[in-house]
Each structure stands twice: as C-alpha cells, then as structure tokens.
C-alpha cells in the first residue's frame, strides 16, 4: 500500500511538473506573440507617420513651387 501511494505521489508530482512546463511554454508563447504584435503595430505606426510627413513635405513643396511660379508670372 505504501509503495502504491508513493508511486501515486511521484506520478502526481510528474503531472504537476508537466502542467507547470506547459504553463510556462504557453506564457512564453503569449509573451512572444504580444511582443511581435506590438513591434508590428509600432512599425506600422512609424511607417504611417513617415508617409504622412512625406506627403506633407510634398504638398508644401508643390504649394511653394506653385506660389513661386504664380508670383513670377505676375511679376513678368
């Protein structure tokens, strides 16, 4: 009876260890996925900001060129 109970104890300890390992693996996977998602979000946000800045610069340049051309035409 004692031997049986001890074997059951080791079995339960083994299952606990397996459960803990699985839990740790799940936590690691979740953390990695969250990290990947946040980096992707950050990258897309910076890309969007870069695109917006480029668009603003292009618009400003175009407006300045148009104004200069109009002024030159008016002066001439």
What is the pLDDT at residue 22?
Answer: 94
What is the pLDDT at residue 7?
Answer: 55
Spatial CA neighbour of 57 closest among 46, 73, 49: 49
pLDDT per position as a tens digit, 5-58: 555 555 577 788 888 999 999 999 999 999 999 999 999 999 999 999 999 999
CA geometry: angle at 52 spanning 55 and 38, to 5°?
155
More confident residue, 10 or 70: 70
In angstroms, rounded to a whole number, what is the distance separating the alpha carbons of residues 31 and 10? Answer: 31
pTM of this prediction? 0.48
What b/e readout covers 3-21, taking b as 16+ CB neighbours within 10 angstroms? eeeeeeeeeeeeeeeeeee
């Amino acid at each position: 009876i004692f031997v049986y109970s001890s074997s059951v104890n080791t079995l339960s300890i083994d299952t606990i260890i397996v459960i803990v390992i699985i839990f740790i693996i799940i936590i690691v996977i979740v953390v990695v996925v969250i990290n990947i998602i946040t980096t992707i979000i950050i990258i897309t946000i910076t890309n969007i900001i870069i695109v917006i800045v480029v668009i603003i610069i292009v618009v400003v340049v175009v407006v300045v060129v148009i104004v200069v051309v109009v002024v030159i035409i008016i002066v001439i």
